[in-house]
Amino acid sequence: MLALSPALYYIHEPFNPHAHISKAICKAAPFPFRNMYITEENEQQYYRAIKEILEGHYSLVRGLAQARSYRELRNAVGLWRKMGNYRERGITPLIKDPTALMSAGWLARRFDIQVVVVLRHPAAFVNSMKNRNWPFYPSRWALPQSLLMRDCLGHFEKEMIELEQGQADIVDRTALLWKLFHHVIAEYKKAYPGWVFLRHEDIATNPLATFGSLYDRLGLVFSDDVRQSLSDFSKETNPAEGTGSVHFIQRNSSATVSDWKRSLTPSDIARIRERVEPVASNFYDDSDWS
């Protein structure tokens, strides 16, 4: 929705090791993990690649090499042309990438970028992941990263090992994933008061006012065209289940806020809350669980 502004162009998940663009960006960094933690101690092998991402460079050769269909070949050529045009015109890139969360502090320090962090209610997050059957195992990307464990997640090590060795289901694993992410977000909120922190529920409940304020804070023009597009994607007359792709969907945004209350069992909700406290209390109180 921020990329509705003509002052920005959108780059989708370049830190995701499984995303096409992360393999096609010029000299793309070989990220070995999802949620890679980059800091000054290990930046040498990643700095140049990320600098090129932020400068809008795209390797047509890499893009064509990664293509597996005529459509992907055409898309690679189109993306190469578009990014070259954006770069020549000096348009600012907007990177949307949840897998860059662990490296956001380094990105802000090293490249002086503006950071917007969106957090979501724990039960809503678990419900969404469960519905899509996205079985992420936090221990598999966190424990092998010694710098990440030392600096950010060390006191969750026992919990990660116990879940990995036990018979934890997707609810437990995803609740732990939420807790790890939002522990880091809570630390960021203390360390970087100039960043923007928004709750998904507040955006969904009042999208026009929230984005109007966000556009203003980021120095973007909240034009009538942008306002209309935002309304089209979020208005109450849209179906609650939404239409479109999973990442680009028109739906009644306010209806998403309480989906988890209907989909999860009371015991699952209680189990999630027990798992995520006290991290969740930094962002959500009793009224948000009722």
pLDDT digits (tens, 9 = 90+) for 81-127: 988 898 888 899 999 999 999 999 999 999 999 999 999 999 999 99
* pLDDT-derived band at 196, boundaries 50, 70, 90: very high
User: Does residue 77 fall inside a structural domain?
Assistant: no
Give percent of the chain with pLDDT exceeding 90. 61
Name the more confident of 142 and 233. Answer: 142
State both tokens at 201. Answer: 């529920």
Task: For residue 85, give every residue at least 6 positions away whose Cβ sits within 8 Å of its Cβ, in sequence order, or none.
Answer: none
- Whether residue 172 lies inside any domain: the answer is yes
Would 50 be classed as within a structural domain? no
| pLDDT (tens digit per residue) in 24-69 | 664 555 788 889 999 999 999 889 888 888 888 888 888 888 788 8
Query: What is the pLDDT at residue 98?
Result: 94
Residue 145 lies in a domain: yes
| Alpha-helical runs (H) found in the chain | 20-24, 47-54, 60-66, 70-89, 104-111, 122-132, 138-142, 146-148, 157-165, 170-191, 200-205, 207-217, 224-234, 259-263, 266-276, 286-289
pLDDT of residue 17: 77
Domain-embedded: residue 6: no
Does a structural domain hold residue 222? Answer: yes
Q: What is the mean pLDDT of the chain?
A: 89
Q: Would you tell me how many other CB atoms lie within 10 Å of the CB of residue 217?
A: 11
33: which DSSP letter? Answer: S
> Which amino acid, 61?
V
Confirm whether 13 is domain-assigned: no
For the whole model, what pTM was predicted? Answer: 0.89
Share of the chain above pLDDT 70, in %: 89
With CA atoms as reference, report the closest residue to 122 among 168, 164, 185, 167.
185
SS (H, E, C) 102-149: HHHHHHHHHHCCCCEEEECCHHHHHHHHHHHCCCCCHHHHHCCCHHHH
Domain that holds residue 158: 114-289
Residue 153 belongs to some domain of the structure: yes
> Which pLDDT value is given to residue 49?
83
Counted domains in the chain: 1
Q: Which two tokens stand for residue 219?
A: 């120095």
